[in-house]
Amino acid sequence: MATQICPFNECLWNGGMLTTVGDWIKWNAMLDSKSLGVPLVSALETRGILNDGRKITYALGLEVGTYKGLKDVSHGGANCRLINFSGAFIPDNKVSIAVMCNGNFTSAGGIAARHY
């Protein structure tokens, strides 16, 4: 019998998203094509503003910034000893990268950055 890395019931609360790399790629394609509507994508990518007026990179669950001069829309996280990163460059060069690691020994975002 196989041993679970993390019991399913521990993958709850913030960070408990259950998904696949394929689903992330579909999500990034939706952000690029705006197939669920321009208002949704605009809201997701609108960066927060602090009380003192400074803009932050965090939007509605996404980080919006630049990497090597290109627009970078990404999200990363970890839970149950699993590390993930989902990144998309929209619309600059139509590259979408998703990385899942089944251990906490490396940086999924670092792996992604080596490929864009």
Say what the pLDDT of residue 55 is.
Answer: 95
| Distance from C-alpha of 40 to C-alpha of 94, rounded to nearest angstrom | 19
- Assess contact for 86 and 75: CB atoms under 8 A: yes
DSSP states along 49-112: B-TTS-B-SB-SS-EEEEETTEEEEEEEEEETTEEEEEEE-TTTT--EEEEEESSSSS-HHHHH
Task: Tell me the sheet residues that pair with 99.
Answer: 85
- Assess contact for 49 and 57: CB atoms under 8 A: no
Percent share of the chain, pLDDT over 90: 24
pLDDT at 3 over 80: no
Say what the pLDDT of residue 5 is.
Answer: 56
Say what the pLDDT of residue 29 is.
Answer: 87
pLDDT tens per residue, range 36-91: 999 999 999 999 999 999 999 999 988 898 888 888 888 777 666 666 666 666 66
Say what the pLDDT of residue 81 is.
Answer: 60
Helix (H) or strand (E) holding 113: helix 108-113
Say what the pLDDT of residue 22 is.
Answer: 84
